[in-house]
Amino acid sequence: MKKLYKIKFKKLKKSLITIITGIIIFSLFLFSRSKYFPKTKAQINEFNFKIKIQGDFHNKKNVNYKTLVSFYTPYEKKYEFKDQEFTLVKDNIFSTKIYISDFDKNNIYSFFIKPEKYLGRFFSNYIIEKDTIDIDLTKDYFYGGDIFPYDGEVSAYDLSKIFKNLGKTVNETDVNQDGITDTQDYLITLYTLKNNLKEDTIKLLPKPTQTPTPTSTSTPTPIPTLTNTPTPSLTPTPNPINTPTPTNQNNNLCSQMDNGLPNSTMHYPNGTTSLPKTNNKICAYNNLYYSLPYRNPNCEVTENAIKKAYERMRTYYPAYFPQTKLLEQWQTVRKYAKKYNFNPLFVIALWIEESAAGGATNAQQLGCLYRRNKDNSFTFLPASSTICDQMECLFGSTAVDPNDFGQWACRYQHGVKAWQNNTCTKTVTFTKGIDFWYNFMAENLPDSCKTRYYFSCQ
């Protein structure tokens, strides 16, 4: 019997050793192969580029061009691929795939693409929202003849270099990659030279400075602690005798918006007199969160309120006050805010908060950076954009839902990705300035125009 137990024990021991050994070998196999498994689809973006290159590629196969591909935000280079291979698909069409892990989608991108021996081209304003993106750039040709050393132009030097190598297998001057420098290469280069075609310049903008904040030690009078939800009252600043009268209003300043937005579409054309939704990330000056009837066009702003705000800006924005356009243009802002069903008092408060009403010349007047066009492309608006450009940018946004102040505020400061599950993933702070100026200028507002406060801002 003991002998039988020993035999069974040995068999069991052998089986266990075999199983454990198998697990170890399988684990080592998985570990060795792990580098071939992508992290997740969401973490890797695939870009499928197509371009059209000048030359005769009919009946040719396996033609490749080493190509520089750079990704730019409006302010800087973000990603670069120096020897990306574009492969002939058919006719003059070449394609490539680029994979980028943890791609930053919180930007509008432009691409600079330069195939070897060709002039580079710059393609602007692309919104990257999906994980797989097809970018078809075949509308225009890439023109050849930029022979090493590549200087971004085709000159008589490039042409003469090709001429000297005619009939030779010299890769340096073989523009169309058929294995020999011949008349095709010469004619490609001659065409580019005769038509004075140049490489596109890379158009970057200086990084914007932050929205101006109060620099004076003279701070706004604090809003009293709220027990329920009354409209806050601020200690009024006396209206000085020497305040200039708001004159010289240019009523035709934004006449291009008289019959509709010239470049954009109103996604939310209707206003509302109801108080819109908000969430606990939308901070007021008193650090409570709040809602503002920002799409109620019946909330008036008075000339006396503008004069009062003008004088308050003298100490609130001392560096920007001399250039402010508040007195000259407030009626224009009021007119078009009402026309497009926005609260004019809100738009003027936003104008003051973002740029001291145009006084901060290095900032966009309403803080609106990208105008959504009618075809859903985007145009970057520099700091030099007018108040009319800025109003169109605001009015044509897809975030200005009349029923949701919280969504607009969240997306305006942090972008669309911060708005998730009907709330903001980040705290919104610029609304403190809007809250302050809105209530500072408020005079005899009806209940439908008053802000409503809740509990502590998160």
Q: pLDDT per position in the chain (458 positions), as tens? A: 444 444 454 555 566 666 666 666 555 555 444 443 344 444 689 999 999 999 989 888 889 999 999 999 888 999 999 999 999 999 999 999 999 988 988 788 999 999 999 999 999 888 888 889 999 999 999 999 999 889 999 999 999 999 999 999 999 999 999 999 999 999 999 999 999 999 998 878 776 544 444 333 333 333 333 333 333 333 333 334 355 555 555 567 899 999 999 999 999 999 999 999 999 999 998 889 999 999 999 999 999 999 999 999 988 888 899 999 999 999 999 999 999 999 999 999 999 999 999 999 999 999 999 999 999 999 999 999 999 999 999 999 999 999 999 999 999 999 999 999 999 999 999 999 999 999 999 999 999 999 999 999 98
The pLDDT value recorded for residue 20 is 65
Domain end position, chosen among 194, 220, 240: 194
Q: Which SS3 state, helix, strand or coil, does residue 79 take?
A: strand
| 291 and 159 co-located in one domain | no
| 179 and 109 co-located in one domain | yes
The Cα 414–Cα 412 span in angstroms is 6
Question: Is 10 contained in some domain?
Answer: no
- Domain span including residue 59: 42-194
Question: Is 31 contained in some domain?
Answer: no
Angle at 228 between CA 227 and CA 231, to 5 degrees: 100
Domain count, the chain: 2
Residue 154 CB coordination number (10 Å): 28
Question: Is 376 contained in some domain?
Answer: yes
Question: Is 207 contained in some domain?
Answer: no
| 128 and 276 co-located in one domain | no
Question: Is 271 contained in some domain?
Answer: yes
356 CB-near residues (< 8 Å, 6+ apart): 212, 313, 317, 320, 321, 323, 324
Question: Is 27 contained in some domain?
Answer: no
The pLDDT value recorded for residue 357 is 96
The pLDDT value recorded for residue 89 is 95
Q: What is the CATH number of the domain that holds 68?
A: 2.60.40.4130
Domain end position, chosen among 194, 217, 238: 194
Question: Is 401 contained in some domain?
Answer: yes
| 375 and 298 co-located in one domain | yes
The pLDDT value recorded for residue 74 is 84
Strands in 121-127's sheet, in edge-to-edge order, are 121-127, 108-115, 64-72, 77-90, 93-101, 44-53, 132-142
CB 393 within 8 A of CB 366: yes
| 420 and 311 co-located in one domain | yes
| 177 and 283 co-located in one domain | no
Question: Is 70 contained in some domain?
Answer: yes
Domain end position, chosen among 194, 219, 245: 194
381 CB-near residues (< 8 Å, 6+ apart): 364, 368, 369, 370, 371, 389, 390, 393
Q: Which two tokens mark 200?
A: 């596109």
| 304 and 185 co-located in one domain | no
Angle at 27 between CA 25 and CA 30, to 5 degrees: 110
| 305 and 165 co-located in one domain | no
| 260 and 189 co-located in one domain | no
